Amino acid sequence: MSPQTPPFPEASRNSPPPQSHDATPHSRPPGAPPEPPEVAALLARSNRLGSDPRNTNYAGGNTSAKGTATDPVTGQPAELLWVKGSGGDLGTLTASGLAVLRLDRLRALTGVYPGVEREDEMVAAFDYCLHGKGGAAPSIDTAMHGLVDAPHVDHLHPDSGIALATAADGERLTLECFGDRVLWVPWRRPGFQLGLDIAEVRRTHPGAIGVILGGHGITAWGATSDECEARSVEIIATAQRFLDTRGRTDPFGPEITEYLPLPGDERHARAAALAPAIRGLASTDRPQVGHFTDAQAVLDFLAGAEHPRLAALGTSCPDHFLRTKVRPMVLDLAPSAPLPDVLDRLRVLHAAYREDYRGYYERPDRVLGAGGGQAGPAPGAQAAGHARGPDHRRRIRDRPGHGGAAGGRGRVRGRRRQGRARSQEGGRADRLP
């Protein structure tokens, strides 16, 4: 194989678009054969896990199941992998959102893998492993599910797991929290090599139930769908208990008196007054729908002395910034500042924010304010609600020191196109998880 030639040119088939949370789920065509039992169990497990924000953020993570189905060409059983497709949401996943691959072909890719320096080329190879029409487009995490020797695999982005995964001493904390039941895998960019790394951990540590992925999330496996789900929940709950007993009482620092929230009615009135201007800024390139929250966790964060530093750190999981931007913009005025001053300051900060992020994202448009809540626009109401809803409020509370809201009045954010997004290292466009 020539080192200059990609082993797998981009397949010419038109992949189905990623499953949209706002779309009506597609049912199977009339007269279609029933789905294998593995698929029904996978969808039920995915919906349960994805509907609880403690387990994963909107459209974060993926799940899979392995099983057999009859090959319509040979009439013989074929080993298949059903895995959540690129960009889909676990909480609303249906059969049309699954990618379906031949397991023998997927695992045979290890024989032609050119190495980590060229692992991006392997994404196109997944299209050559599809079974039949293949369903949804395979995600960049497909190798993780196919190469791990377990019938069922969950890969999730729970706040408690990410808190350990992104800690400076995450490996030590993982050992302290789980012992040898859950192991540590150092940060590696999502892709084929990460799948090989996790598969090796599974092979060499048969007593382990999963791993903490440095800077990323968690992966669990099981012999049955129920066992896999139970292990995922166990990892998440165990990590949360560890954080509850080991966490700091003032993770956001001492309160700043001038940034304490306004009384409820005044806070909501100020948010309403700012909403048109903030939405206008966020809609500079395309219309956005806003979402505002003044949950207590948000207000606590915004009133803390550490909020400018913490906000500048940005998000702690690569999946998060696909929908929240890398970090917010802090409105550095008190909540009681005169409205004209706030509007002028927002315009100045927004222009600087866009210029600063132009080289990182092609069209940055997220803003964050000071004084009493959080707001977030997105192309659809459901997307906006998920992006800035209960899952994000819990992320602020459970992951102090790793980004989130800052300042105090509101947040405006824009959502990137689904289907493709830049990798964390700013390289080529990769398929979404």
Each residue of 56-109: pLDDT tens digit?
Answer: 877 789 999 999 999 999 999 999 999 999 888 999 999 999 999 999 999 999
Per-residue model confidence (pLDDT) at position 384: 46
Q: What is the mean pLDDT of residues 382-387?
A: 44
Per-residue model confidence (pLDDT) at position 26: 41
Q: What is the mean pLDDT of residues 296-320?
A: 85
Residue 13 pLDDT class (50, 70, 90 cuts)? very low
Smallest CA-to-CA distance from 422 within 349, 369, 379, 359 is with: 359
Burial 197-227 (b: 16+ CB within 10 A, else e): bbbebbeeeeebbbbbbbbbbbbbbbeebeb
- Residue whose structure tokens are 């999330």: 217
The per-residue DSSP string of 291-334 comes to -EE--HHHHHHHHBTTHHHHHHH--SSTTTHHHH-SSPPP--S-
Task: Note the pLDDT tens digit of each residue in 203-245.
Answer: 999 999 999 999 999 999 999 999 999 999 999 999 999 999 9
**Quick check: 17 pLDDT over 80?**
no
Task: Note the pLDDT tens digit of each residue in 168-210.
Answer: 999 999 999 999 999 999 999 999 999 999 999 999 999 999 9
What is the identity of the amino acid at 287? P
Per-residue model confidence (pLDDT) at position 265: 96
Per-residue model confidence (pLDDT) at position 328: 85
Residue 343: strand, helix, or coil: helix
**Quick check: 18 pLDDT over 60?**
no
Residue 239: strand, helix, or coil: helix
Percent of the chain topping pLDDT 70: 73
Burial 324-345 (b: 16+ CB within 10 A, else e): bbbbbbbbebbbebeeeebeeb
Contact (CB, 8 A) for 301 and 406: yes
Per-residue model confidence (pLDDT) at position 21: 36
Residue 313 pLDDT class (50, 70, 90 cuts)? confident
Contact (CB, 8 A) for 98 and 85: yes
Residue 69: its H or E element: strand 62-70
Task: Note the pLDDT tens digit of each residue in 335-362.
Answer: 999 999 999 999 999 999 888 888 766 5
Question: Looking at per-residue confidence, does 392 or 252 come out higher?
Answer: 252
Question: Looking at per-residue confidence, does 79 or 409 come out higher?
Answer: 79
Task: Note the pLDDT tens digit of each residue in 250-292.
Answer: 889 999 999 999 999 999 999 999 999 999 999 999 998 888 9
**Quick check: 132 pLDDT over 50?**
yes
Rounded CA gap, 302 and 404, in Å? 10
Q: The tokens of 384 are what?
A: 């906006």
**Quick check: 137 pLDDT over 80?**
yes
Cα 91 to Cα 60, 68, 94, 363: the distances in Å are 10, 25, 9, 28
Helices (H), 205-224: none
Per-residue model confidence (pLDDT) at position 139: 92
Task: Note the pLDDT tens digit of each residue in 36-57.
Answer: 999 999 999 999 999 999 998 7
Tell how strand 182-185 and strand 210-213 pair up.
Answer: parallel
Does the domain at 37-246 match CATH 3.40.225.10? Answer given as yes
**Quick check: 320 pLDDT over 90?**
no
